[in-house]
Each structure stands twice: as structure tokens, then as C-alpha cells.
Structure 1
Amino acid sequence: MEARAYLKYARISPRKVQIVLDLIRNKPADVAMAILRNTPKAASEYLIKLLKSAIANAENNHNMDVSRLYVAECFVSPGPILKRIRPRAQGRAYRIEKKSSHVTLVLKEKE
């Protein structure tokens, strides 16, 4: 049995999210939450909310024991890119890409 939670169209670069996801992979849910709360990265706020959602899904939808949950799987994939233009010298324009992410978090119960 597993519980999933998805975060789609998060306005943060996938590279920034991947760094924080590597910290919590295969950790118990309560330890993962503690790590996220003490990690000074922008992605931590998104992932705290996502982890709380996954825990709530596990408890309410699948009747899983919260104390035995661990982060079995977590990954990020790139979402759509917002393309913007930045004016530069002599009438030129540079492109700015505002990236977004789709994050998936899977919790399972320890055997």
C-alpha cells in the first residue's frame, strides 16, 4: 500500500527542488519533516506542504499507520517554462526563462 501526493506547476526550478528531495529520500516521514523544517532552501516550503498532504492521504484514504511511514519515492520533473524578455543595451533583448516543476512524493509503510 502506498500514498501519493503531487505538486504541479510549482514556480521553482527543478534543480533547486532536486537538491532538497535528495535529503529526504528513504527517510521516515517524521525525520523527513524535521529535515525540511531545518533546511534553509526555498523548495523546503513547497515540500513541507506536500509531505503533510501525503501523510494526510495515507492516514485518511488508506488507513495507514502514520508512525510507520517513510518516503519511498520522490522525484521532480520540469513543468512548462514561462519565457520573458529582458531589454539589453543597443536595442537587444535577452530571454529569461522562468522554470516550473512537477513534484511527486510517495509514502509507504515499513514492514
Structure 2
Amino acid sequence: MLESKAIAKYIRTSPYKSRRVLKQIQGRQYKEARIMLELMPYKACKIIIKVLDSALSNIEQKSDRNIDREKVKIIEAYANKGPVLKRFQPRAQGRAFPIRKPTCHINIKLEV
């Protein structure tokens, strides 16, 4: 069994929104997951496709022979919480309203 993983760090999207998409592709074959991601309307899908392709190229570099993409399976796909960017929005009467801009780290692990 050949394994590889790819990580995208400090992605400017909420980990909750990313997890919603990653739960859909976990345990699926590479091609099936790729098609699902292309058809989903979420912003996180574009980033997840890049991470998925990176993990696939990592597994192709590890092996000497060509990899059959039909047999590649996603064994792990999760999003951890990253640091939160804190900003302030000016409001009426001199008040300030805090804005939290979450980030996340996306991890995908493949297996042949």
C-alpha cells in the first residue's frame, strides 16, 4: 500500500465550511471525488481540488511506475482550525465592532 498526503495551510475560509465539503469526499475514489468537487457550488471546492491534485502528484512521485487513478482512494480528509485574523469595523457614535476572519488547514491523505 502506497500512501501520500498534502496539506494546505492558512486558507482563508472557515473550517466548518471546509469540513462540510471534505465529509462528502472522504472514503471515495479519486475520480469520483474530483467530479463531485467540480460540481459543488462552494468556494472551498476550488482549494480542495488543488490539495487533492497535489496529494495525487505526491503519490505519483513516490512510486516508480504509473499510478492507476481508478484505484486511488481518499482515506483521510479533514480541516483543522487555523489562526483567526482579528479586524475592527467602525460603527456609529465612536464604537468599534470586532470582525473575526477564520483560517483553516486542509489535510488530504490518499492510498493506492
Identify the TM-score tier after normalising by the shorter chain. Answer: over 0.9
Task: Work out the CA distance in 2 between the residues paired with 1:74 and 1:62.
Answer: 22
Q: What's the TM-score, normalizing by structure 2?
A: 0.92
**1:62-77 matched pairs, under 5 angstroms:** 62-63=63-64, 64-77=67-80
1:96 to 72, 84, 99: 99
One-letter amino acid matched to 2:42 = K
2:65 equivalent to 1:48:
no
Task: Work out the CA distance in 2 between the residues paired with 1:26 and 1:2.
Answer: 14
Task: Work out the CA distance in 2 between the residues paired with 1:4 and 1:62.
Answer: 14
**Shift, 1:60, TM fit:** 1.3
**Shift, 1:62, TM fit:** 3.4
* Residues 59, 65 of structure 1: 8 Å contact kept: no
Task: Work out the CA distance in 2 between the residues paired with 1:66 and 1:30.
Answer: 7
Moved more, 56-65 or 76-85: 56-65
**Shift, 1:90, TM fit:** 1.3
Task: Work out the CA distance in 2 between the residues paired with 1:56 and 1:90.
Answer: 55
Runs of 4+ in 1 over 3 A off after TM superposition: 62-65
**Shift, 1:28, TM fit:** 0.2
**Shift, 1:67, TM fit:** 2.3
The root-mean-square deviation of aligned C-alpha atoms, in Å, is 1.1
Q: Secondary structure at the match of 1:33?
A: helix
Task: Work out the CA distance in 1 between the residues paired with 2:63 and 2:6.
Answer: 13
2:82 equivalent to 1:79:
yes
**Shift, 1:45, TM fit:** 0.4
One-letter amino acid matched to 2:94 = G
Equivalent residues, number? 109
